[in-house]
Chain A
């Protein structure tokens, strides 16, 4: 799995590529926690190339839900494959995490909040 980090204006952009499983989820956790400690308020996660997400990967997103709420940080995931989106939906995470279909939609959403 590869993590790419970019910055577009006020938006912190994390791209995930490959399989997000028990061994690779530490890298994602590191990327998000770095963003949080740097004081980033708008985080976009690009899931275009995210092939698979395991429960450990879901656990990473899940563990930040409360933190983000407390610190008024918004996070939007975009461009999830049907398979990956389904995993979020089954677990019910789609009700807690903002998931949209495109980067534009994600940007719009995050700038509104």
Chain B
């Protein structure tokens, strides 16, 4: 059977026992004065009474045993509420009797016994509740030994019900044979008050109040029982019941001992708790990062804890960021205008509130303090927040008394502040790390994008020898080159550079590739290509971004090159017949600089013929503008001379040579731009 099942069973048995007892007793009494024959024997009466006691107690044993053990106040509260309600009911009945009852009625045996049976029920329930609540409290953090003592005590207490059958008189010495061991065990148990230590100052006061009330209720019950013991003829008399007497004295004993311990604990507990609270605040501050709080929450914790720990009347907290700009401001118990006025007074008095903690015993006695005279605040404590010599902010606390802060207060606030400073600094470091990581992640993606946009392999043409080289700088740049093969006799080539870098450059490059791949297929000449590309790209480009581009188509059958240059570095051309070497300068504005029809005026097409052995180099400004440690640029002339000297080599060899000289020149200088070149030799 489940716990719930037992609960229901016990409840039914205890109610049935009580009802049977009431009916049986009333009928017995009735038959005394009437011609009616019913007699409930003492034996059966005691059976019913004992069964009622037993099952009511078992009922509460289950009920309270299930409850969580740490909420003592709630348990005491439950006992109190229960007792108070029952007392209230019985008082109400008394009051009604007083108002409406006739003297005859009051002396009616039947009626008095009915009332008394109700009293039995109420007292039993109150005691059962109290008994098991105390069990819970006594056995809080129990030892094995204590548990054993309790078990024996509980057994003895429950067994004492059997004395119902024995008709002891309260003055009979035999009763003490049983009562003394019960009392001793109860006494031992009542010294186990570990739970008191786990209450805070406020809870202790609550407990004291509740226990006093419970004691009052307990005595009221006892008083009622004895009042009727002496006043009326009772068929069942609890006054002489060992079980009821034992349990109620156990509860009262515990109440008194708890009361004493609580009272003795009170004075030290506030000091203990304050220290404990301080430790908790430290923990809160240092754990705020692990708990995933925000920096703002640290600010809140700092000012709230500081105010409450030293009982300050008001305060404010200013937080600045790395650059010293205002980041957060919290004011508690003081308006912003008053903060402003106080700060003005401090400034006029040349208080340097940036470096050292400052303590002002009486702000109103300062000079220029006219405008703060009406404020209630007198003493001020100013503590700056620092981390690694970097100022994080200032905490100011105010009190209405002059000289309101003692050394201990200042010390504790200083340690709060330094703990909070560490937490704030850590928050900022984490934020920074996250931002950097996110940026790195973005760059990684952009680099992937950029890489995927470049052709995976060079085209193969029997009349051309081609070598390409590209290298991205640490931050993603926007160098781009691509090919298109119209036929085995005509190919198109493009090289470009997107301004800016990072992710936006990578995406502009992606657009560029789309524009190239779609326009090139129409077979339009280079200048027209640029006009169309400018139109297409101009719509999506940022206002200050542009693209430089060189587009050329090579006709290997007629040995001609058509070329247009849109703001891109001019191609380098070596003529093997004349031995001349020159940059193919032509008019050409970068793409995206002007985004209207005028663009066509700024671009021109150049057509040249070539011979076998001629060489064309396309490159980006990363090559030209790379600097050495003296800040000199690699420049156009160096590139030109290199090609001039080595024009006899194949493109791969020329490429290696250029790179060799290039790295020799730049040395250990970090390169900030991408560098790309394409070398084409006509063979």
Contacts and interface: CB of A to CB of B under 8 A. Distances in A.
Contact of A55 (B499, B566, B570, B587): B499
Main secondary structure of the interface of A (DSSP, over half): helix
Given A63-B544, A65-B594, A92 B589 contact: yes
B589 A58 contact: no
A59 B543 CA distance: 8
A20 to B, nearest CB: 13
Given A22-B500, A90-B567, A92-B567, A55 B589 contact: no
B590 interface: yes
Main secondary structure of the interface of B (DSSP, over half): loop
Interface string A41-85: 000000000011001101110110110000000000000000100
Contact of A59 (B500, B570, B588): B500
Nearest to B589: A92
Given A58-B499, A96-B594, A90 B546 contact: no
Contact of A90 (B570, B593, B594): B570
B568 interface: yes
Given A55-B497, A91-B567, A63 B590 contact: no
Contacts of B544: 29, 56, 59-60, 62-63
Nearest to B636: A86
* Range, interface on chain A: 20 to 34
Contacts of A52: 625
Contacts of B607: none
A83 B593 contact: no
Nearest to A91: B567
A93 interface: yes
A83 to B, nearest CB: 7
A93 B590 CA distance: 8
Contacts of A8: none
Contacts of A90: 548, 567-570, 621
A81 to B, nearest CB: 11
B527 to A, nearest CB: 13
A91 B545 CA distance: 12
A90 B583 CA distance: 11
Interface in B537-582: 543-546, 548, 566-570
A56 B587 CA distance: 22
B304 interface: no
Q: Which of B544, B587, B633 is packed against the most chain A CB atoms within 10 Å?
A: B544
Given A55-B500, A83-B633, A91-B590, A62 B570 contact: no
Given A55-B497, A63-B543, A96 B568 contact: no
Interface of A: 22, 29, 51-52, 55-56, 58-60, 62-63, 65-66, 83, 90-93, 95-96
**Nearest 5 interchain pairs by C-beta:** A92-B589, A59-B544, A55-B499, A63-B544, A91-B567
30 contacts: A22-B500, A22-B501, A55-B500, A55-B546, A55-B621, A56-B544, A58-B499, A59-B546, A60-B544, A62-B593, A63-B544, A65-B593, A66-B594, A90-B569, A91-B546, A92-B566, A92-B567, A92-B587, A92-B588, A92-B589, A92-B593, A92-B602, A93-B567, A93-B590, A95-B589, A95-B602, A96-B589, A96-B593, A96-B594, A96-B602
